[in-house]
Amino acid sequence: MSSQKKAENNTGRFPYFNRELSWLAFNRRVLEQAESEDYPLLERMKFLAFVSSNLDEFFEIRVAGLLQQVKSGTIQRGPDGLGPKEQIRRIQSICKRLVGDTYDCWDQKIVPGLKGSDVHFCKYDALTRNEKRWVETYFQEQVFPVLTPLAIDPAHPFPQLTNKALYILASIDDPETRIIESLMAIIPIPRVLPRIVKVGVPRRGKPDVYIFLSDIVQRFITRLFPGYRVRSAVPFRITRNSDLYIDEEEVENLLQKIEEELMNMHKGAAVRLEIAKGADPALLQELLEAIHLTPDNVYTIDGPLNLFRLMSAYDLIERPDLKFHHNTPYHPKELESSERIFDVIAAKDVLLHHPFDSFQPFVDFLNQAATDPQVFAIKQTLYRTSGDSPIIEALIEASRRGKQVTVLVEIKARFDEANNIQWARRLEDVGVHVVYGLVGLKTHCKTCMIVRREGTTLRRYVHLGTGNYNPKTAKLYTDLSFFTAREDITEEVAGLFNTLTGFSLTPSFKKLLVAPFTLHSNIQKYIRAETRNARAGKPARIIVQTNSLVDQETIDNLYRASQAGVKIDLIVRGICNLVPNVKGISENIRVRSILGRYLEHSRIFYFENSSGSQALIFAGSADWMPRNFYRRIEAVFPIEDTEHRERVMCILETYLKDTKSARILRANGAYHKIPAKKGAQAFSAQDFFIKQSEAKRNVLARELEDDVKIKPAVSPTMPIPPEI
């Protein structure tokens, strides 16, 4: 039997993993972070919240799409060969185990651990007498006035239930009749009410006590139905199809159309019902019929619904000892004076590694541009940003000062559509020229350009990044930032903006790799070049860090490179459709996923000898997925400065040495821990970068204290850690 046939027998019809099942394996790794005793308890609680939030989005988009295929009779098989029905069957089986394990983690690990640290999550019955009185008063004064019970009977039709909103399903009975009626009532829980309540009565020893709002409502629900008996009352929530279906070529006003679709999104087809145990079986069946779901789509929960609400508890609980030690990012000395930031970039390119390096230099870059009288124009893309963004404020200030400001706001950024529409209108109100990108393409590139008059000439300054212009996520995601005034780069960025705001069928890019124009073809070219080099006995190696690897042509070319002997290391945080370590196909490919304190978000690509003279190193906004290659505007930039190349290689090699947070993907689809060498401690890449940042801050502090300019004892290219 040939190696190809063996590979097909090992992995199914094709040597590819299923995209949806690979994503579920990623969410399982997120759950492992919550289960890990290496993290503080409240950080583990946050990981549980991430598991819940991730599953919401997965059902809203991916499962909804599969169910829609089944309903329409459209069969779209992926490269793995699985049809939608089989995928749904496997997803339901895996998700029910995943949900069960998530609540086991909450009940058996997180709650007892927090209790041991004097943070109590209690049911009503476990409260003290004084606490019960406080909760009763809280219900009567803060909750009861805003509750509206909805009877379901011939005179009251079944209500429209909002996507992911919290409800109580109550079975009501008239005690005056001999027949048990099981009347249905639904109580919507308004979003304005906090889902986790801190009990305002201190216990002896002053531990914090918290209770879920749903538990409070369940306890006092009889007050909503005077004279009736409540036989059961259980919380539930519905997940609906939340994808936006818009034919942009047929839409005259995209902004208005998306606003209309956002209103309709809450009414999308139901795809999942989460309900607490103890529901009246007859009412549950009636509920399923009303929302057009089958029992297969029901997830019975033994615990509080929607653990994403634990994110609010993380902020509510003021216990620094149960959270990560605060990490102060390193702020390079040469960038501390915002007034000199253009001088610094004009003299030398700047590369930053967030969150170990501060994101503040970019904020300063934009703030200085907003107030600098020599700056004439600012152009920027915005995919996602924070609610109180200093980025938005700087752009508004620049426009008020008479500068030409152009912003490409991606209003189709999934789940951020409403926020982005809000910012778009606010920017337009102050005279910013807002553009919504190209028809059929999302603007996903992270690009900012400043045009400044210097003497008799205009000079461009550019920032390119791998992450969003969001100061909040810049503290939580690992990303690269690149500042340059080099004409060969800035000219192409100017061309990219002209393509986005005007008309250009065949834009020309030599330095940048831009999707959907040149990125995919060039990536394939570089992989094939490594393949030829390996066959010719030349140095050949590929290292890729990305969030997802899905594109089939890219995977096929990586397989061929492996067959030729190219050593390939893939650091893929999430979805990976490539099957590694298959004899004759991918035995030279290693795939690892790293999940840690920070979300790995950088996209870095290394091709050892593709240029014939030195390795090619790129970073940018694009994952290796069809949507990034063909349906988005992406910008990938070269790393050419010697010092920056050394630093990026240090970053990649450090990740490849991780034995603490990394998991290795096996050919059977399972991820396994990497055993540390005998006598050695497990090594964390992120911990190494934190220590590196601390060392550089300490050197800078000594320099400032002595007020003497000395060469730093710890350079930005801190040596790669020793072999583990």
- pLDDT tens profile 469-519: 999 999 999 999 999 999 999 999 999 999 988 866 678 899 999 999 999
Which of 472, 506, 540 is a domain's end point? 506
Q: What whole-number distance in Å separates Cα of residue 427 and Cα of residue 447? A: 18
422 band by pLDDT with thresholds 50, 70 and 90? confident
Locate 361 and state its tokens: 């230099």
Asked if 4 and 585 count as a contact pair (C-beta separation under 8 A), the reply is: yes
Tell me, what's the pLDDT at 708?
47
Task: Give the CA distances from residue 213 to residues 28, 188, 195, 378, 667, in Å, rounded to whole numbers and listed in that order.
Answer: 28, 12, 5, 47, 45
Cβ-based neighbour number of residue 57 at 10 Å:
14
Asked if 559 and 8 count as a contact pair (C-beta separation under 8 A), the reply is: no
Same domain, 394 and 275: no
Is 92 inside a domain boundary? yes
Among residues 398, 356, 392, which one has the least CA distance to residue 375?
398
Tell me, what's the pLDDT at 417?
57
713 band by pLDDT with thresholds 50, 70 and 90? very low
Which residue do the tokens 């553009």 mark?
435
Is 28 inside a domain boundary? no
Same domain, 272 and 396: no
Strand 632-638 and strand 513-515: pairing?
Answer: antiparallel
Is 34 inside a domain boundary? no
Among residues 202, 473, 194, which one has the least CA distance to residue 316?
194
Is 9 inside a domain boundary? no
Tell me, what's the pLDDT at 441?
86
Total number of domains in the chain: 3
Give the pLDDT mean for 563-567: 97
Tell me, what's the pLDDT at 386?
63
Q: What whole-number distance in Å separates Cα of residue 290 and Cα of residue 236? A: 14
Mean of per-residue pLDDT scores for the chain: 89
Q: What are phi and psi of 233, to 5 degrees?
A: -150, 115
Q: What whole-number distance in Å separates Cα of residue 303 and Cα of residue 276? A: 7
Query: For 574-601, what is each residue's pLDDT tens digit?
Result: 999 999 999 999 999 999 999 999 999 9
Which residue do the tokens 């060469």 mark?
711
Q: Where are the alpha helices (DSSP H) in 352-472?
A: 360-371, 390-400, 417-429
Same domain, 318 and 338: no
Q: What whole-number distance in Å separates Cα of residue 163 and Cα of residue 236? A: 11
Same domain, 51 and 193: yes
**Number of helices and strands in the chain (H, E):** 21, 27
Same domain, 360 and 309: no
Tell me, what's the pLDDT at 274?
98
Among residues 192, 69, 219, 207, which one has the least CA distance to residue 137?
219
Tell me, what's the pLDDT at 613?
74
Asked if 527 and 608 count as a contact pair (C-beta separation under 8 A), the reply is: no
Same domain, 554 and 425: no
Locate 450 and state its tokens: 């400043």
- What is the domain-level CATH number for residue 586? 3.30.870.10
Among residues 468, 452, 448, which one has the least CA distance to residue 460?
452
Quote the percentage of the chain above a pLDDT of 70. 89
Tell me, what's the pLDDT at 449?
98
Is 724 inside a domain boundary? no
Is 15 inside a domain boundary? no
Of the two residues 706 and 302, the one the predictor is more confident about is: 302
Task: Give the CA distances from residue 606 to residues 40, 541, 568, in Å, rounded to whole numbers and listed in that order.
Answer: 35, 8, 10
Tell me, what's the pLDDT at 179?
75
Asked if 256 and 300 count as a contact pair (C-beta separation under 8 A), the reply is: no
Task: Give the CA distances from residue 630 to residues 77, 105, 469, 517, 526, in Å, rounded to whole numbers and listed in that order.
Answer: 20, 40, 23, 8, 18
Q: What whole-number distance in Å separates Cα of residue 59 and Cα of residue 164? A: 11
Give the pLDDT mean for 88-101: 97
Q: How far, in whole angstroms, is CA 282 from its chain's centroid?
A: 39
Task: Give the CA distances from residue 415 to residues 218, 410, 418, in Å, rounded to whole numbers and listed in that order.
Answer: 31, 12, 8
Residues catalogued as catalytic: 444
Same domain, 82 and 211: yes
pTM of the model: 0.90
Same domain, 194 and 70: yes
Among residues 236, 221, 233, which one has the least CA distance to residue 144?
221
Q: Which helix (H) or strand (E) holds 450?
A: strand 446-454
Cβ-based neighbour number of residue 123 at 10 Å:
11
Buried b (16+ CB within 10 A) or exposed e, 201-215: eeeeeeebbbbbbbb
List all residues 6 or more positions away from 61 whose beta carbon is below 8 Å from its beta carbon: 242, 243, 414
Same domain, 497 and 519: no
Strand 404-409 and strand 375-382: pairing?
Answer: parallel
Q: Which helix (H) or strand (E) holds 141?
A: none
Q: DSSP code of 142?
A: I
Same domain, 65 and 127: yes
Locate 651 and state its tokens: 């970053």
Q: What whole-number distance in Å separates Cα of residue 248 and Cα of residue 245? A: 9
Domain of 677, in residue numbers: 514-689
Asked if 408 and 441 count as a contact pair (C-beta separation under 8 A), the reply is: no
Which of 458, 480, 506 is a domain's end point? 506
Query: For 440-449, what is each residue's pLDDT tens digit?
Result: 788 899 999 9
Give the pLDDT mean for 710-720: 46
Q: DSSP code of 666?
A: P
Is 12 inside a domain boundary? no
Tell me, what's the pLDDT at 412?
60
Which of 484, 506, 528 is a domain's end point? 506
Same domain, 158 and 109: yes
Tell me, what's the pLDDT at 14?
52
Same domain, 403 and 316: no
Is 713 inside a domain boundary? no
Q: What whole-number distance in Å separates Cα of residue 85 and Cα of residue 89? A: 6
Q: What are phi and psi of 236, to 5 degrees?
A: -150, 160
Which residue do the tokens 């069969």 mark?
75
Task: Give the CA distances from residue 114 to residues 214, 301, 320, 330, in Å, rounded to whole numbers and listed in that order.
Answer: 20, 21, 13, 32
Which residue do the tokens 């496997």 mark?
90
